Structure 1
Amino acid sequence: MDSMPKYASYKDSGVEWLGNIPSDWNLKPGFVAFTENKRNNKGMKENTVLSLSYGKIVIKPEEKLVGLVPESFETYQLVEPNDIIVRCTDLQNDKVSLRTGLAKDNGIITSAYLNLKVRRGFNSRFLHYYLHSLDTTKVIYKFGSGLRQNLSFLDFKRLPVFDISESIQIAVADYLDQKTAQIDEAIAIKEQQIALLKERKQIIIQQAVTQGLDPNVPMKDSGVEWIGRIPKHWHYEPIKYSLKGIVDCEHKTAPFVDEEEFFVVRTTNVKDGKINLTGAKYTHAKGYKEWTRRGIPTPGDILLTREAPAGEACTVPEDLKLCLGQRMVWLKVDRTRLVPEFGVALIYSSIGRTYIDFLSAGSTVLHFNMSDIANIPVVLPPLDEQKALVEYINCKSVEIENSSKILSQQIEKLREYKTTLINSAVTGKIKVA
């Protein structure tokens, strides 16, 4: 922002989190700009249900209204275009969700939200950008009261707002509409590129584990209609013939403790072929001993989720002492027949996914029983070829993941730039009008 135009002179705002503001900008309390809109929907004046989603006020999909009786909508509050909607609850525990949105449609929204109507002389787009900036820069979390730090209209009545001409407010809002749209478009393009890279990775894995790397290899019928043709020197079998055993979990929750070395792997920790330590839970030595009565998962063996969701898999890491949490299964791999990483790749291939889809047909929640797991279909080349294919998949995966990581970093920088740009424009740190 250093290279962008600035105002001629600045003064101390007197508000710590605002810092210096342009000399001809003044501050007034929020009650001069906002009124609280408390009009209810008595008599069903409106039936378009709105919700706050990712910082936008959107029309709620019909499938999300299942179970709500129309009479309950009479208690909802009316919303008009240019109203600012704020989610005021639970500042203490939720510091991630975007809390403000600018309405573009007529409709109704639950009375759990605060509805701010903008007074004459103030621009709703400018004020929403201002409140959005206080949200994304976490200033809003300085306000609120009660055990869980809830906001109320009183906080917004006291909130310092800028007393500047409406023409300047509109010019700033117009500038930010244009610039944020450009940033959002750039982010969307990069997200699409990440999606295409993920798709490319899946195609590479799919081809490697169902056909190998030789496009001219002689093929044969696998004997299973939905698997189709496989290389002539490969064979099809249920995975149980490539295992030394299948170890189920204890079907009860391990005692969780802080700062212990024994990791309890749960279904949330296995995703896309990898261990994910986000939200990791640990147990003590006594718990680990009890939860490994049936054996200690060996590095390189396969971990599989039985439910919620079923069918996620990864290999046991080398440097992690772990035991099985609920709905987890340990596949003890016979490494004279199956390379574990090849087995995981097969589970994520069209062969594994088709089998999972078949099992889930007619079920609201898919749950693997032990025979389902034993009969997971695999198509196996000779062991040396499995190793070569795993090496190829790993090499290509690293290339793709590195490219995805660079794109993700670029997206994060764009989001940071967007936050800084909005904050700088609405507080006068840069001159855009």
Structure 2
Amino acid sequence: MTIIASPNTEWLGPLPTSWSVTTVRALVEDINIRNFGGKNENYLSLMANIGVILYADKGDVGNKKPEDLSKCKIVKIGDLVINSMNYGIGSYGISRYEGICSPVYLVLRTKSDVGDQNFVRRIFEIPQFQRLAQSFGNGILEHRRAIGWDSIKNLPVPMPPLDTQQKIAAFLDRETAQIDELIGKQERLIELLAEKRQAIITHAVTKGLDPNAPTKPSGIPWLGDIPSIWETKRLKHIVAMRSGESITAEDIESIGDYPVYGGNGLRGYTSAYTHEGEYALIGRQGALCGNVNLARGQFWASEHAIVPTPRIQISVHWLFHVLKWMNLGQYSMTAAQPGISADAIGGLPVPFPSFDEQQKIADYVERQTRTLDRLTVAASSAIQLLRERRSALISAAVTGKIDVREGVA
């Protein structure tokens, strides 16, 4: 092994004696070609742990597509695209598309005459390298420091002989494909569990628990029949839709006496509270507006959350499941900051059983979904372990900690 003595090469560790160290700019070039005239409209986006995707497939989360596409960067198939602010948390990918991306992204292209392109791309997957690169960026938050080409072009990277690069690339292609297949199976399991969970909730809150109960038309086309002893009520007649109280970011800490709930759920903690009891909170603003969280005890509900406050006797747990079933995110208004109008969702009709039946429905749903939730947690943990294994394998192979030369057919 060769020991490299330099502050920025610590992430490499000892390298095999036949290897050398070069710089990022020796292996890739910065591509800064703009979409003049806005002719290319195929806008691409990045998602951590997923990579480069079509903007149309991203959904209503994250940054919005700019109106002026002329400033966007051109991306070719095989280009490495890096989110300059989120690279340290894995927001990067190899593009499978021809298109354009945000001008704040880095677009890098491997130099075909220097090394094996697949090996070179693997360097950028290593978490230690990602964190090193992000440390040279500008910004207050460590994981969101904006990096540029000048920040990373002189960073040291390993340079094994070409035949070794090719063997490492082939080894990693094979091994990571197997890991990715296992991850895909766990992700599909989570999807199936979520579908099963939703089906249980939907049937319980719209049809009740007695399969032999007589039914009647609800009068709502998309709802269909409901049990004949149920009513339909507009949400605003069941609960008062009130927004929470304003709170500044400076008043929210990572630890504290009382939890703070915002548009996307738990935001942190503070020293005071606005509510006491049990409430089903609705996210009013943010990328995940429409999501529903159950808050208990003493807590602060921020202005980005709607606090449905019962006007009549209801089961809060039943209300929680009804609100989840309603998929309130579909009623968000398109804007720079997605949001939900309390008045708009307050006018929505819901099937309304008796208080006693509400409690039974809530108990049933929670019993039935408890096992599904445990299985979901287990699958998520398995995915995390597989991703860690994948990263560790890439790091070890690319920095010469494991010898793969005899393991490649």
Q: Is the contact between residue 343 and residue 378 of structure 1 (CA under 8 Å) also seen in structure 2?
A: no
Pick one of 130, 133, 156 that aligns with 2:126. Answer: 133
How many angstroms apart in 2 are the aligned matches of 1:327 and 1:103?
37
| 2:349 maps to 1:406 | no
Pick one of 405, 413, 417 that aligns with 2:389. Answer: 417
Structure 1 residues 125-146: Cα deviation after superposition (integer angstroms, max 9, x where no partner) = 1111012215666233344578
Pick one of 214, 224, 247 that aligns with 1:254. Answer: 247
Q: 320-329 vs 409-418, which deviates more? A: 320-329
Residue-pair matches, total: 385
Q: Is the contact between residue 3 and residue 15 of structure 2 (CA under 8 Å) also seen in structure 1?
A: yes
Q: How does 1:21-60 map onto structure 2 within 5 Å?
A: 21-37=15-31, 47=40, 51=44, 53-54=46-47, 56-57=51-52
The alpha carbon displacement at 1:176 in A equals: 1.3
The alpha carbon displacement at 1:36 in A equals: 4.5
Structure 1 residues 53-84: Cα deviation after superposition (integer angstroms, max 9, x where no partner) = 24745566699767335xx36xx666555554
Structure 1 residues 121-164: Cα deviation after superposition (integer angstroms, max 9, x where no partner) = 41121111012215666233344578885545455553333343
2:320 is matched by which residue type in structure 1? V
How many angstroms apart in 2 are the aligned matches of 1:375 and 1:104?
42
The alpha carbon displacement at 1:316 in A equals: 3.8
The alpha carbon displacement at 1:300 in A equals: 2.8
- Secondary structure, counterpart of 1:299 in structure 2: strand
Relative to structure 1, the CA distance from residue 331 to residue 432 in structure 2 (aligned partners, 3 Å threshold; closer, same or farther) is same
Higher relative contact order (CA 8 A, sep 6+): 1
How many angstroms apart in 2 are the aligned matches of 1:125 and 1:86?
16
How many angstroms apart in 1 are the aligned matches of 2:120 and 2:205?
55
- Secondary structure, counterpart of 1:19 in structure 2: coil
| 2:41 maps to 1:68 | no
Pick one of 194, 197, 200 that aligns with 1:201. Answer: 197
Residue 322 of structure 2 corresponds to which residue in structure 1? 346
Relative to structure 1, the CA distance from residue 346 to residue 219 in structure 2 (aligned partners, 3 Å threshold; closer, same or farther) is same
2:367 is matched by which residue type in structure 1? C
Residue 116 of structure 2 corresponds to which residue in structure 1? 123
How many angstroms apart in 1 are the aligned matches of 2:324 and 2:135?
46
Residue 220 of structure 1 corresponds to which residue in structure 2? 216
- Secondary structure, counterpart of 2:264 in structure 1: helix
Residue 274 of structure 1 corresponds to which residue in structure 2? none
Relative to structure 1, the CA distance from residue 116 to residue 153 in structure 2 (aligned partners, 3 Å threshold; closer, same or farther) is farther
Q: 192-201 vs 256-265, which deviates more? A: 256-265
Higher-Rg structure is 1
Q: How does 1:138-287 map onto structure 2 within 5 Å?
A: 138-144=131-137, 150-154=146-150, 156-238=152-234, 246=240, 248-249=242-243, 253-255=246-248, 257-259=251-253, 260-269=256-265, 277=266, 279-280=267-268, 282=270, 284-285=271-272
The alpha carbon displacement at 1:395 in A equals: 1.1
Unaligned runs of 5+ in 1: 1-9, 270-276
Q: Is the contact between residue 306 and residue 327 of structure 1 (CA under 8 Å) also seen in structure 2?
A: yes
Cα RMSD, aligned residues only = 4.0
How many angstroms apart in 2 are the aligned matches of 1:219 and 1:190?
39
Structure 1 residues 283-325: Cα deviation after superposition (integer angstroms, max 9, x where no partner) = x55xx5xxx5xxxx442344345565665444441x3333453
Unaligned runs of 5+ in 2: 59-63
Sequence identity (%) = 24
